[in-house]
Amino acid sequence: MLKIGFLLPPAFQIMGLAASSAFELANTTARERLYDIGFFSALGGPVVNSFGVSVETLPLARRRLDTLIVCGLVAPSPTDTQTLERLRSASRIARRTASVCTGTFLLGEAGLIDGRHVTTHWLFARALQQQFPAAKVDADRIFINDGPIWTSAGMSTGIDLALGLIEADYGAELSASVAKRLVVYHRRAGGQSQHSVLLDLGAKSDRIQHVLEYARNNLESGLSVPELAGVAHLSPRQFSRAFMTETGQSPAKAVEQLRLEAARLMIEQSRHTIEEIAAKTGFIDTERMRRAFLRVFGQPPQTLRRIARMS
């Protein structure tokens, strides 16, 4: 039986505990006690969360846990010394240490994410990178597994992370069954975007918004800068400058993101072959698409399709 411990810092956000339901249902689905779940704090006793509800906890000191999951706060703030000391000690003993949402900041304060690929809620990703420059922050991932460190994005993605942990422990079939009982999409792949590309780009003018809509509807086209500049009725130089000013990205980078988003959705929701999807979304060939998927999502197209079909 694997022992899962949730570390609850003062004023933790209660949604972080939703992940515990995944482990509970893994026990129910398997009809055996695969996981033992406990709530911990630095010294034990009641811990009041951000909503004012008190949760009874056990002291974390000298606890042998298989997996320690650190709950996040509504917004990151400095953590008390005792909690950080207990976190460091427990992580040295645990097989895995994970965080939900802004819990990644606690891992950072404890010195656990230097050199690691990590994520957190997109709203605080830049602050995380600035505060912990030795970490490799990916602001657009649902969750990331880098060795013994697992991190997730917003509070609800703690469920995706828990399903990922269950899959790593007992296989994809059990993870898919738990997801079905939770009435959630079978664990969103770790690389899935936290929000849509068009929302992320946030074009302010109708001119650039129209270009983005054109690009999304014409992915099979080359979508070169001159072509997109023609849609915007600007010279290529003027267009590139305006596009970068409004979106913070080059046209080529934005087009790749649109292609990746469309390709991922087709892979997960259609019966088109990988070759057909590469052609329909404007990639030169399947190898080019595979490399883009690995770079951005951390998984090849075939893996995302397999996960989707299991759901």
197-310, CATH topology level: Arc Repressor Mutant, subunit A (1.10.10)
Confidence check: pLDDT of 84 > 60: yes
Which residue(s) pair with 7 in the sheet? 40, 70
Least confident segment among 197-206, 219-228, 292-301: 197-206
Q: Is the pLDDT of residue 308 over 90?
A: no
| pLDDT (0 to 100) of residue 310 | 67
Helix axes 225-232, 251-269, angle to 10 degrees: 100
Express as a percent the part of the chain with pLDDT over 90: 66
**Most confident of the following: 98-102, 283-287, 292-296:** 98-102
Q: What is the mean pLDDT of the chain?
A: 89
In whole angstroms, give the CA distance from residue 268 to residue 295: 18
Is residue 153's pLDDT more than 70?
Answer: yes
Please report the pLDDT score of residue 187 as a whole number: 46
Residue 277 has a CB neighbour count (10 Å cut-off) of 21
What is the token pair recorded at 112? 């656990």
pLDDT-derived band at 305 (thresholds 50, 70, 90) equals confident
pLDDT over 50 (residue 185): yes
Q: What is the pLDDT of residue 198?
A: 61
pLDDT for 186 equals: 46
Percentage above 70 pLDDT, the chain? 93
pLDDT tens string 109-127: 999 999 999 999 988 988 9
pLDDT over 70 (residue 231): yes
The first and second tokens of residue 278, run together, are: 């590469």
The model's confidence at residue 96, banded by pLDDT at 50, 70 and 90, is: very high
Q: Which residue has the tokens 């880098």?
A: 146
Q: Which pLDDT belongs to residue 72?
A: 95
Query: For 108-112, 143-147, 282-286, 307-311, which range has the lowest pLDDT when averaged over its residues?
Result: 307-311
Q: Over 80: is that where the pLDDT of 107 sits?
A: yes
- The yes-or-no verdict on residue 287 having pLDDT over 90 is yes
pLDDT at 192 over 90: no
Answer yes or no: is pLDDT of 236 > 90: yes
Phi-psi region of 228 (alpha: psi -120 to 50; beta: other; left: phi over 0): alpha
Report the C-alpha gap between 274 and 293 in whole angstroms: 12
Phi-psi region of 223 (alpha: psi -120 to 50; beta: other; left: phi over 0): left
For 169-194, letters b (16+ CB in 10 Å) and e give: bbebebbbbbbeebebebbbbbbbbb
Q: Which pLDDT does position 4 carry in this prediction?
A: 97
Beta bridge partners of 308: none
Q: Which fold has domain 2-182?
A: Rossmann fold (3.40.50)
Domain boundaries, the chain: 2-182, 197-310
Per-residue pLDDT band at 89 (split at 50, 70, 90): very high
Per-residue pLDDT, averaged over 167-188, amounts to: 81
Backbone angles phi, psi at 283, to 5 degrees: -75, 145
Give the tokens for residue 269. 């929701």
